[in-house]
Structure 1
């Protein structure tokens, strides 16, 4: 029997930002709800990529944030649409924070009951001279330890402190335990991008579902029996 597609559509509206997210953890051909929400805008940014198995389009008003979310979606196997309009005339804080909170909320909503999951995932990713790693636990216990060792204040128009805070916000909203680190790297762009790719690989492993006949199929992967 085919597994039900895991999709979610989320809107996060505050006095400072308006965020819309559509997310699918599975093949978009099996995810009609999310597929309807993933439509390339007329002014599609570089962070738009449609293939037979993935549909990604990200537009936040912050180019480097778009680039990181594009990489996260691409290498995790997710289909993802993000539309964000925030108070960038102030700075990048509210837009970045609320975008990661909305993506995290969509992620946990799409995940649904945490059954039949691999649960844990680790990813390692190089980018030229930089090497990063990430470990995720779909634990329902939000926690994040992020250590990327940035040396610059900003990459493009994105503050490096907001990369760290954004990942912390994602972990909080997604109800996951998350550890991400950059082992080494001379270039902060490479440090950040390798970290997001490592996280993507970790997510792809953790959300894998056990199918009928496999050990863990239908189970909550916890000695407590709950997540």
Structure 2
């Protein structure tokens, strides 16, 4: 496992390779990108969600992952989320000069999701509002609705961020998941963006 990273004043990039008996994952990001992506997790719907995450957060990201998807895609999906969380934390460095908080409400047709992000250094997830049975839907042939929460849990824990995610409306399982990823992307974009008026760490404690 290897990582590289830097503070806001320098290039905010990070790269990590993570290998277990269940998966092999490479994630590389640039927080100050244009939203370009090169995603291959062997789980097509997850690739679609991660591509949307890049596009709407303006984070450049490369993801290459292989795993025991012949058993279940859960391991690969979660391990990619873990690795993304780790590189996000690394790329943020000491978090000096960032806005820290971000919020977004995003629709996708009948679905509507609201996300609030705090780059606090304290991992926490509040996730709710999905209609009954959403977790049991199989989307794109491989991705079950229950994986959405697992992805956000892994990201928040390993990135050290707080995320409140609430589904306000939705019927189509695909739309419900995609609205959440896009809302998270827009909120994350705002939270990690440098604010020229912020001097030092955006916390009265002096550390995040």
**What's the TM-score, normalizing by structure 2?**
0.91
Correspondences of 1:113-192 after superposition (within 5 Å) = 113-150=94-131, 151-152=133-134, 153=136, 154-156=138-140, 157-192=142-177
Q: Distance in 2 between matches of 1:60 and 1:223?
A: 40
Q: Structure 1 residue 224: deviation in Å?
A: 1.4
Q: How many residues align?
A: 197
Correspondences of 1:201-212 after superposition (within 5 Å) = 201-211=186-196
Divergent runs of 4+, >6 A: none
Q: Distance in 2 between matches of 1:136 and 1:18?
A: 28
Secondary structure class of the residue paired with 1:96: helix
Structure 2 unaligned regions, length at least 5: 1-7
Correspondences of 1:1-227 after superposition (within 5 Å) = 3-27=9-33, 53-150=34-131, 151-152=133-134, 153=136, 154-156=138-140, 157-211=142-196, 214=197, 216-217=198-199, 219-227=200-208
Aligned-residue CA RMSD (Å): 1.4
1:145 and 1:168 in contact (8 A); partners too = no
Q: Structure 1 residue 108: deviation in Å?
A: 0.7
2:100 and 2:120 in contact (8 A); partners too = yes
Q: Distance in 2 between matches of 1:62 and 1:146?
A: 23
2:35 and 2:56 in contact (8 A); partners too = no
Structure 1 unaligned regions, length at least 5: 28-52
